[in-house]
Amino acid sequence: MWAVRAFEAKLMRRSNPGRRLHDAVVIVPGIMGSELREAGTGRKLWGVGKLLAYTARAHTERLRQLAVTEDERAGRTGRVEVTGLLESFEPLPGFGSAHPYTAMVAEMRRSVVDPAALLSFPYDWRLSVEHNGALLAAAARRHLDAWRARLAHRKYLEDHPEAGPARLVFVAHSMGGLLTREALHLDRTLRDDIRVVMTVGTPFNGSVKAVLMLNAGKGLPFPVPPGILRQVAATMPGLYDLLPSYRAHEVDGDMRVPGVEDIVALGGRRELAKAAVDWRTSRAQTTLPEHVTVVGMGQSTWTSYRLADGVALFDQYLFKRYNDGRLLLDAEGRPQRDPRTGDGTVYQYAAQLPGTARPVHFYHEHGDLIRTRSVLDMASGLMHGLRHPEERGAMLGDEARYELRAPEWSALGEPFAIEVDGVARGADLECRVRGVNGLDELLTPALRPAPGRPGVLAASCMPGRPGMYEVEVTGGEEPKRRLVPVLDMVHDG
């Protein structure tokens, strides 16, 4: 069914190019999705794009420079400059990999009536959502006013007088959805100019992966000293804004929303923890108008954590509860566990904002969501003939429900495992592993049934050089992809 709908959407888009709307589009990337450089020296701090060597010294230097200073937290920014959207795949140890936004930008550039109607909004993701949301609000207003004043917009209105002035369309990935909500919270006049907001994998209720970054107790490639990552992460207000705001902290036989003291216990700074808790509380009732919510699911995702001697341990379950919030206990009086999934970074229900329409589900990993063909088609569809929200009709997610698993990183010279779970009998899947960021290596490991594990196919892969590799499995409705940094485990001081 989804394949038919996707084909019809593509056919409509190609056969009705004249129905493109004249709205102004703003693309807002997620955390780590913007390139940063040091203003004084011009040295790139994020978005280097040179992934052929992974050493302790290189990682440590990059991480130290990303720390947020007291001046920056006080609003005296300028030490770090934003140079654009991420153009290469980048790994941040413990938090996975950041994906470039090339595909989405290209798709929306083809969809607008004129390139001037498209704005990409890179930002310093180290800083708070409130800080960046204010910048986004001002940028969106300037963009809409400038677009309405252009000749291309005026010409469109001459040909389509019934359309009225252009409005705003936001396409936001991950943290970018929080910025969009913040912009509309801070500037209420923007709401009157919204056509639609599409968020993709946005952690409206936070992500346990942010706990990992702050505590650094698990999942770190060995070349990066965990102490350095903890020090740097603890300075970033933007990271605190991503901490879970649902019952994710298991303690004393129950689960609770992490409060200020809980965040401090993870290694956070008290003043930043309090600012983040106050911020999320004050924004709890803020919704998005004409909201299309894309949610990733079916991928192994940490949804809760507990502390043991100051070290965070992660799990993939929550506790079952009655409608009134009471715990549901088993016969022995213990809380019943409820296994949960998400997109590998954001728990499924943490990506949903209360008060919005039914979300659209895709069985994809967090970073890959923004560049899957179906999501690109959805974003483009917002600009093709949808003058009113009721014209959208039903929106269906994909039905390729198998999960692709690969390690967060691998050491050079050691094979890493690839698994595909939930495979239907008779499915014909193929696996390819290719180097990205200028690498030309292509491997084709064979997927074979895993002994004693029905529905699971497995393969082994060992790239010949360090770098970023993309694992892709084809044969379902859409390819499934995961990024695996292959690290040269060299310590150079």
What rounded mean pLDDT belongs to the chain?
Answer: 85
Query: What's the rounded mean pLDDT across residues 25-34?
Result: 94
Return the pLDDT at 411: 85
What is the DSSP code (8-state) at residue 383?
Answer: T
- How far is it, in rounded angstroms, from Cα 456 to Cα 195? 43
**129-148 and 175-186 are packed helices; what angle lies between their axes, rounded to 10 degrees?**
70
Return the pLDDT at 491: 45
- How far is it, in rounded angstroms, from Cα 250 to Cα 46? 34
| Tokens representing residue 478 in the block | 């859409």
Instruction: Answer yes or no: is pLDDT of 54 > 70.
Output: no
Return the pLDDT at 307: 94
Q: What is the CA radius of gyration of the chain?
A: 23
Low-confidence winner among 55-64, 95-104, 328-337, 418-427 (lowest mean pLDDT): 55-64
**208-215 and 226-233 are packed helices; what angle lies between their axes, rounded to 10 degrees?**
120
Spatial contact of 304 and 255, defined as CB atoms under 8 Å apart: yes
Query: What's the rounded mean pLDDT across residues 341-368?
Result: 88
| Tokens representing residue 66 in the block | 């990303």
Instruction: Answer yes or no: is pLDDT of 94 > 70.
Output: no
β-bridge partners, 482: 471
Instruction: Answer yes or no: is pLDDT of 80 > 50.
Output: yes
Return the pLDDT at 451: 93
Query: What's the rounded mean pLDDT across residues 375-398?
Result: 65
What residue type is 437 in one-letter code?
N
Instruction: Answer yes or no: is pLDDT of 468 > 70.
Output: yes
Return the pLDDT at 444: 92
Instruction: Answer yes or no: is pLDDT of 123 > 90.
Output: yes
How many CA within 13 A on the CB side of residue 488?
Answer: 14
Q: State whether residue 317 is helix, strand or coil.
A: strand
Return the pLDDT at 20: 80
Return the pLDDT at 379: 93
| Tokens representing residue 22 in the block | 């004249």
Q: State whether residue 15 is helix, strand or coil.
A: helix
Instruction: Answer yes or no: is pLDDT of 63 > 80.
Output: no
Instruction: Answer yes or no: is pLDDT of 206 > 90.
Output: yes
What is the DSSP code (8-state) at residue 36?
Answer: E
Spatial contact of 195 and 163, defined as CB atoms under 8 Å apart: no
Return the pLDDT at 487: 78
Instruction: Answer yes or no: is pLDDT of 146 > 60.
Output: yes
| Tokens representing residue 465 in the block | 């050089």
Its pTM stands at 0.85
Q: How confident is the model at residue 43 (pLDDT cuts 50, 70, 90)?
A: confident
Instruction: Answer yes or no: is pLDDT of 83 > 70.
Output: yes
Return the pLDDT at 409: 81
